[in-house]
Amino acid sequence: MTFMNTPVEFTARVVESFGRRAIVRTADGERLPAELFGKRLSIVCGDEVNVRMPRPVAAAAGDEPRIVSVQPRRTLLQRTDSRGRNEPLASNLTLLAIVVAPEPPTDPYMVDRYLAGAAYAHIDGAIVVNKSDLDSSSTLGEAVEEYRRAGYPVLTVSALNSHAIDDLRAFLKGKTTMFAGQSGVGKSTLTNALIPDLERQTRTLSDSTGEGRHTTVSTALFRMPGGGELIDSPGVRDFAPALVSDAVVQRGWPEIVAAAPQCRFANCLHLREPGCAVIAGIDAGTLSARRYESYKRLLNIMRDLAPDYERRK
């Protein structure tokens, strides 16, 4: 009878997490509620975890499966709060797709910080321009062209009339993608459009004037038909990446990375150094002055938050 006392353990994927509790998906595709075992353990959506089933007697008494350990993460997307503390958002992503739309208006500096945070975590970045059914000629056009020129994939779609949704699905195939961005840009509506039968709650018409309202409250992972995984996340007001050193900040700007080898100094931060190819590119108009300004702003944000960061090291 010894096998009865051997706890059954298996690996599973965290598809939704709420503090100390989570929903995990087993290899067979079954969804199970589970709780964290041990105070030091912390998990995020996307984690691969080891789960231990309760013994039959404990299960009968209401015990849930327990997450006992987390497998090494291939990637981890994190943000920094205003006090310089790290907050993990999702793991094992291969792509961060920042969703923007003509409404609500886009803050391109926040999009840049998202793209930089992805780069620091070795996650690819892309821009999804949603609501192509609305007139986007106004503010968005310029910023979107900057991303194209910097080398990011840009996909223009409409979740409402399905324009280019098949192209988006094909682009996301085989990837583990998180949709991120401001509240109301249509992340959940897009998730529903990409995954038939999914009915993730989206902002209703009666709510549509409620600016700053966040409809989605938890980060959740779904499998896409045809391959790939998609994580829908709550909208944000702001985003700052995990802290990195001065020299690393520029890795979030592929166009700066491409120009930097032509700078006179190998450790050029492209601020006031003589012979800087990045500043020459701005003067010549081949590099975006706004994107460069954004780089300098993030460098300053990182330096402002760094004292806290240094103390924690």
Ligand X SMILES: Nc1nc2c(ncn2[C@@H]2O[C@H](COP(=O)(O)OP(=O)(O)OP(=O)(O)O)[C@@H](O)[C@H]2O)c(=O)[nH]1
Q: In angstroms, give the least distance from the CB of 254 to Zn ion.
A: 15
228: annotated binding-site residue?
A: no
C-alpha dist (Å) from residue 189 to 203, 215, 252, 267: 9, 11, 28, 44
Q: Tell me the closest approach of the beta carbon of residue 206 to ligand X, in angstroms.
A: 10
Residue 134: which of Zn ion, ligand X, Mg ion, none does it interact with, CB under 5 to 8 A by kind? ligand X
The one-character DSSP state at 218 is S
Q: Residue 276 binds which one of Mg ion, Zn ion, ligand X, none, with CB within 5 to 8 A depending on kind? A: Zn ion
Q: Which is nearer to Mg ion, 92 or 188 (CB)?
A: 188
Q: Which stretch binds Zn ion (CB under 5 A): 90-98, 129-137, 264-272, 295-303?
A: 264-272
- By CB under 5 A, tell whether 188 contacts Mg ion: yes
The distance of closest approach from Cβ of residue 187 to ligand X in the complex, given in angstroms and rounded to an integer, is: 4
- Dmax (CA) for the chain in angstroms is 79
Of 52, 40, 140, nearest to 99 by C-alpha is 140
Q: Does residue 249 belong to the site contacting Zn ion (CB under 5 A)?
A: no
> Per the structure block, which two tokens stand in for 78?
């994190």
Q: Does residue 186 have a known ligand-binding role?
A: yes
182 binds Mg ion (CB under 5 A): no
Q: Is 263 annotated as contributing to ligand binding?
A: yes
Return the residue of 113, 187, 270, 291 that touches Zn ion, per CB under 5 A: 270
> Which stretch in 68-76, 83-91, 157-165, 179-187 sits in contact with Mg ion by CB under 5 A?
179-187
Q: Is 17 in the site for Mg ion (CB under 5 A)?
A: no
**Residue whose C-alpha is closest to residue 66's, from 29, 31, 36, 25:** 36
Nearest-angstrom CA–CA distance, 205 and 202: 9
CB of 241 to ligand X, least distance (A): 19
Q: Is 256 a binder of Zn ion (CB under 5 A)?
A: no
Nearer to ligand X, 169 or 270 (CB): 169
130 annotated among ligand-binding-site residues: yes
- Is 26 labelled as part of a ligand binding site? no
CB 146 within 8 A of CB 291: yes
> How are beta strands 124-129 and 154-156 bridged, if at all?
parallel
Q: Which is nearer to Zn ion, 178 or 263 (CB)?
A: 263
> What is the Cα 287 distance to its own chain's centre?
26
DSSP result, 235-287:
--S---BPP--HHHHGGG-HHHHHHGGGSSSTT--SSS-TT-HHHHHHHHTSS
Q: State the residues that interact with ligand X by CB under 6 A.
A: 130-131, 133-134, 158-160, 183-189, 202-203, 208, 214-216, 234-235
Site for Zn ion (CB under 5 A): which residue of 67, 101, 121, 263?
263
262 marked as part of a ligand binding site: no
| For ligand X, the closer CB: 101 or 269 | 101
Which of these, 240, 228, 126, lies nearest to 172 by C-alpha position? 228
* Three-state DSSP class for residue 146: helix
- Report the SS3 class of residue 114: helix
**Residues contributing to the site for Zn ion (CB under 5 A):** 263, 268, 270, 276, 278
